[in-house]
Amino acid sequence: MLKKQFIFLLCLSLLLLLISGCGMFTGARLRITVTPYSELYNQGYVDINPGMGHFFHYDEGDRVYLDAQVLFEGPGIEFEGWYGPDGDLVSQDTGELIMRDRLMRVEARFKVESGVAVYDKIDEKWQEEMSKTISEAIGGYYHLLVFPGKFFENIIIDFPGVSLKSLLGPEYTTIERPIFITNRNFGGLAGFTLDPGQDKTAITFDHYLNQEVMIKDNIFQSGQGVKFERDIRAPLTIDNNEFRDQDGLIFEDDLNAEVLVQKNEFRGPVGIFFYQGIHEPLTIKDNSFRQNEEAVLFFGSLEQKIEILDNEFDQVGVGVNFPYGVKYFDDILIEDNSFLYPKIGLFFDNYQSDFKPALEIKGNDFYDNSDIAIHFFSTENLNINDPHIHYNNFEDNNIALGAGEDISYASYGELLLDARYNWWNCPDGPSPYGEGDPVEGPVMVDPWSSSSH
């Protein structure tokens, strides 16, 4: 009995040594081909079974189940996650997936070939064959799961219901040509680096949107980011992208559905440009605007509620700009933003409010604006207490609040621009009343706050 146990343990030890030899200790690399399965699993682990290896890709509660043949046999080894030598999921040098068992310190390297796995949304199954390019994988109501690699192809999406997502994110999957979306039922795009060149636009929509769309987790490395040449007719979300080069988002037509722009970083000359009217609610929140000439620029009429919340405007020319008039609009809320070292934080020209108090500017930080933190260049038909400019912090600004001389009022009496309850960088109030940041024009500031908010 003892002899049998000894032989069993000896064989097990030799087998584990063999498995270790396929891993990090010898530097040997295991090459496999990866194809998708049709099932979704809820467990995020890697289990190397005799003759077979399975690994999972995590995606906000879902794991895409992928099946991979391995070249060695042995007992099951449960991997708790994907671990590279530097904490990376994929080797930058070889493009290999690296899996390591925490307990046994065994590492397996899996080479992933570039390609596109196709999921048929109608038949609810993965296609057996992978496509070599994105263009050849495009079909009606297909979800494309794009494996790591660089894709040098002009992509035209003219089928309905197409969506694209990279398997491992923008660090490992790059599209180096423009994408043109000519179908109104586009499903979305997530997890790519888009690098079409400085004189190109990464994504162009030349048809109106008729299906809810999300553009998420992308890096726009060069050129313009996303251009919408037709109106928006279905909800649109732009979430957690980086726009590193030219203008970020360009809306050339009306917004006729809700739009949410959140958690993005904009570094180009113009962050977001609205050429036409806003006819459904627009929310811009938790974004970072850095060194833009114009961070957010509005040209058209504003007929629905606009919320600009919790954004950071750092060293921009103008934070939020309404250069050609603000009229005929619903509520505008500008709250809890930081305007750090810009030339002008907020600019309003030809501001009109004929109906009700509509503009509320509260809880913002205006720090070291070199020109004017909030500038009302000209206004018409102001009603009492409109706009509300309350509970903001003004510190070290050249001029904190400026109101043009051609202000007129819809109501009778000596009405002033309401800027009470703000901190002006001094307990005795703004200049010329105290020694705080200066205000100019017909502005009502008393009472003010004796400390910052």
Say yes or no to pLDDT of 104 above 50: no
Of 37-46, 292-301, 435-444, the one with minimum mean pLDDT is 37-46
Instruction: Return the domain boundaries, the chain.
Output: 2-111, 116-444
Say yes or no to pLDDT of 186 above 90: yes
Say yes or no to pLDDT of 285 above 90: yes
What's the mean per-residue pLDDT of the chain?
75
Range from 145-154, 326-335, 366-375 that averages highest in pLDDT = 366-375
Residues whose CB is less than 8 angstroms from the CB of residue 237 and which lie 6 or more positions away in sequence, other chains included: 212, 213, 214, 215, 216, 259, 260, 262
**For range 300-310, the mean pLDDT:** 87
Say yes or no to pLDDT of 177 above 50: yes
- pLDDT score at 404: 65
Per the model's pLDDT, the better-predicted residue between 55 and 254 turns out to be 254
Fold of 116-444: Pectate Lyase C-like (2.160.20)
Per the model's pLDDT, the better-predicted residue between 125 and 279 turns out to be 279
- pLDDT score at 106: 43
- pLDDT score at 369: 93
- pLDDT score at 421: 97
Range from 53-62, 108-117, 194-203, 409-418 that averages highest in pLDDT = 194-203
CA distance 20 to 438: 71
**At 272, is the pLDDT very low, low, confident or very high (cuts 50, 70, 90)?**
very high
**For range 290-306, the mean pLDDT:** 89
**For range 299-311, the mean pLDDT:** 88
- pLDDT score at 254: 93
Per the model's pLDDT, the better-predicted residue between 127 and 334 turns out to be 334
Q: Which pLDDT tens digit goes with each residue over 378-402?
A: 655 555 446 789 999 999 999 999 8
- pLDDT score at 26: 23
Say yes or no to pLDDT of 199 above 50: yes
Q: Which pLDDT tens digit goes with each residue over 27-61?
A: 222 233 333 332 322 223 333 333 333 333 333 33
Of 36-45, 249-258, 339-348, 420-429, the one with minimum mean pLDDT is 36-45
- pLDDT score at 378: 64
**At 433, is the pLDDT very low, low, confident or very high (cuts 50, 70, 90)?**
very high
Per the model's pLDDT, the better-predicted residue between 265 and 299 turns out to be 265
pTM (2 d.p.): 0.78
- pLDDT score at 19: 37
- pLDDT score at 27: 22
**For range 147-169, the mean pLDDT:** 89
- pLDDT score at 435: 95
Percent of the chain scoring above 70 in pLDDT: 66
**For range 250-275, the mean pLDDT:** 96
CA distance 384 to 70: 75
